[in-house]
Amino acid sequence: MHALIAFALISSAQPAPAWLAGDWEPYSNAFMGLRILSIGKETLTWKGCTDAHFEVIDAGANTVTLRLAKGSTCSLDDAPATRMDTVRFTLRENGCDLGVSVYASPEAATRQEPAAEGLYGKSKCPSGPVGQAAANLSTTPR
Protein backbone atom coordinates (compact mmCIF):
# COMPACT_ATOMS: atom_id res chain seq x y z
CA MET A 1 0.00 0.00 0.00
CA HIS A 2 2.82 2.44 0.83
CA ALA A 3 4.37 1.94 -2.61
CA LEU A 4 1.09 2.95 -4.26
CA ILE A 5 0.87 6.12 -2.18
CA ALA A 6 4.48 7.04 -3.01
CA PHE A 7 3.86 6.41 -6.72
CA ALA A 8 0.72 8.58 -6.62
CA LEU A 9 2.64 11.41 -4.96
CA ILE A 10 5.46 11.20 -7.51
CA SER A 11 3.00 11.11 -10.39
CA SER A 12 1.17 14.20 -9.13
CA ALA A 13 4.32 16.33 -8.74
CA GLN A 14 4.43 19.35 -11.04
CA PRO A 15 7.33 19.48 -13.47
CA ALA A 16 9.56 22.53 -13.57
CA PRO A 17 8.74 24.74 -16.58
CA ALA A 18 11.00 24.36 -19.62
CA TRP A 19 12.16 28.01 -19.46
CA LEU A 20 13.82 27.35 -16.09
CA ALA A 21 16.19 24.63 -17.32
CA GLY A 22 19.82 25.40 -18.10
CA ASP A 23 22.71 27.44 -16.77
CA TRP A 24 22.14 30.88 -15.26
CA GLU A 25 24.91 33.38 -14.45
CA PRO A 26 24.70 35.73 -11.44
CA TYR A 27 24.28 39.44 -12.24
CA SER A 28 23.75 40.56 -8.64
CA ASN A 29 26.37 40.92 -5.95
CA ALA A 30 24.25 38.82 -3.55
CA PHE A 31 24.86 35.73 -5.68
CA MET A 32 28.35 36.26 -7.15
CA GLY A 33 29.88 33.92 -4.55
CA LEU A 34 27.46 31.15 -5.56
CA ARG A 35 28.55 31.33 -9.20
CA ILE A 36 26.61 29.52 -11.96
CA LEU A 37 23.17 28.10 -11.15
CA SER A 38 22.37 24.97 -13.18
CA ILE A 39 18.79 23.76 -13.18
CA GLY A 40 17.69 20.39 -14.52
CA LYS A 41 14.38 18.58 -14.59
CA GLU A 42 14.41 17.57 -10.92
CA THR A 43 17.70 18.90 -9.55
CA LEU A 44 19.72 22.08 -9.28
CA THR A 45 23.41 22.71 -8.73
CA TRP A 46 24.88 25.77 -7.04
CA LYS A 47 28.20 26.26 -5.27
CA GLY A 48 28.39 23.73 -2.46
CA CYS A 49 25.36 21.73 -3.55
CA THR A 50 25.39 19.35 -6.46
CA ASP A 51 22.30 17.76 -7.98
CA ALA A 52 20.05 18.86 -5.10
CA HIS A 53 16.59 17.42 -5.62
CA PHE A 54 13.60 19.75 -5.48
CA GLU A 55 9.86 19.67 -5.82
CA VAL A 56 7.81 22.33 -7.57
CA ILE A 57 5.36 23.69 -5.02
CA ASP A 58 3.90 26.48 -7.18
CA ALA A 59 4.17 27.35 -10.86
CA GLY A 60 2.70 30.09 -13.02
CA ALA A 61 3.40 31.40 -16.52
CA ASN A 62 6.62 33.18 -15.50
CA THR A 63 7.11 32.23 -11.82
CA VAL A 64 8.03 28.96 -10.16
CA THR A 65 8.64 28.16 -6.49
CA LEU A 66 10.77 25.16 -5.53
CA ARG A 67 11.32 23.46 -2.19
CA LEU A 68 14.70 21.78 -1.87
CA ALA A 69 14.92 18.27 -0.45
CA LYS A 70 15.51 18.12 3.32
CA GLY A 71 19.02 16.67 2.94
CA SER A 72 20.28 19.26 0.47
CA THR A 73 23.51 21.10 1.25
CA CYS A 74 22.50 24.28 -0.56
CA SER A 75 23.25 27.41 1.43
CA LEU A 76 23.93 31.07 0.85
CA ASP A 77 27.47 32.40 0.83
CA ASP A 78 27.06 34.24 4.14
CA ALA A 79 28.45 33.62 7.65
CA PRO A 80 27.04 31.65 9.29
CA ALA A 81 25.70 30.06 6.14
CA THR A 82 21.93 30.29 5.66
CA ARG A 83 20.40 27.02 4.44
CA MET A 84 18.31 27.37 1.29
CA ASP A 85 14.87 25.82 1.75
CA THR A 86 12.55 27.50 -0.74
CA VAL A 87 13.60 29.30 -3.92
CA ARG A 88 11.31 31.44 -6.09
CA PHE A 89 12.29 32.18 -9.70
CA THR A 90 10.62 34.87 -11.81
CA LEU A 91 11.40 35.09 -15.52
CA ARG A 92 11.48 38.68 -16.75
CA GLU A 93 9.76 39.80 -19.97
CA ASN A 94 12.97 39.59 -22.03
CA GLY A 95 13.14 35.82 -21.37
CA CYS A 96 16.80 36.19 -20.38
CA ASP A 97 16.76 37.59 -16.85
CA LEU A 98 15.70 35.57 -13.82
CA GLY A 99 14.76 37.16 -10.50
CA VAL A 100 15.78 34.82 -7.66
CA SER A 101 14.48 34.96 -4.09
CA VAL A 102 15.92 32.52 -1.54
CA TYR A 103 14.04 31.70 1.66
CA ALA A 104 15.47 29.93 4.71
CA SER A 105 12.16 28.24 5.57
CA PRO A 106 8.64 27.66 4.23
CA GLU A 107 7.39 30.15 6.83
CA ALA A 108 9.78 32.84 5.57
CA ALA A 109 8.48 32.24 2.03
CA THR A 110 4.89 32.58 3.23
CA ARG A 111 5.78 35.87 4.96
CA GLN A 112 7.66 37.08 1.83
CA GLU A 113 10.89 37.46 3.86
CA PRO A 114 13.76 36.35 1.61
CA ALA A 115 17.20 35.69 3.02
CA ALA A 116 18.59 37.01 -0.30
CA GLU A 117 17.33 38.35 -3.61
CA GLY A 118 19.10 39.00 -6.85
CA LEU A 119 19.22 38.55 -10.57
CA TYR A 120 20.59 35.80 -12.81
CA GLY A 121 20.71 35.69 -16.59
CA LYS A 122 21.41 33.51 -19.60
CA SER A 123 24.86 34.15 -21.06
CA LYS A 124 23.76 33.81 -24.68
CA CYS A 125 20.95 36.33 -24.46
CA PRO A 126 21.26 39.73 -26.08
CA SER A 127 20.63 41.55 -22.79
CA GLY A 128 23.71 39.99 -21.16
CA PRO A 129 24.74 41.02 -17.67
CA VAL A 130 23.57 44.62 -17.67
CA GLY A 131 24.33 46.71 -14.61
CA GLN A 132 21.03 48.57 -14.66
CA ALA A 133 19.05 45.31 -14.82
CA ALA A 134 20.23 44.43 -11.32
CA ALA A 135 19.59 47.95 -10.04
CA ASN A 136 15.84 47.31 -10.00
CA LEU A 137 16.17 44.41 -7.56
CA SER A 138 17.63 44.21 -4.09
CA THR A 139 21.07 42.63 -4.26
CA THR A 140 22.00 42.63 -0.61
CA PRO A 141 21.73 39.47 1.50
CA ARG A 142 19.58 40.07 4.55
Q: What percent of the chain has pLDDT over 90?
A: 56
pLDDT for 141 beyond 80:
no
38 phi and psi, to 5 degrees?
-110, 125
All residues at 6 or more sequence positions from 55 whose CB lies less than 8 Å from its CB, including other chains: 13, 14, 66, 67, 69
Contact 65, 84 (CB under 8 A): no
Q: 28 exposed, middle or buried (CB, 10 Å; 0-12, 13-18, 19+)?
A: buried
Average pLDDT over residues 65-71: 94
pLDDT digits (tens, 9 = 90+) for 85-127: 999 999 999 889 999 999 999 999 999 999 999 999 987 776 5
Residue-range domain boundaries for the chain? 21-135
Element (H, E) at 118: strand 116-121
Cis preceding-peptide flag for 114 (omega within 30 of 0): no
97 burial (CB, 10 Å; 0-12 / 13-18 / 19+) is: buried
What's the pTM value of the predicted model, to 2 decimals? 0.79
Phi, psi torsion values for 7, nearest 5 degrees: -65, -40
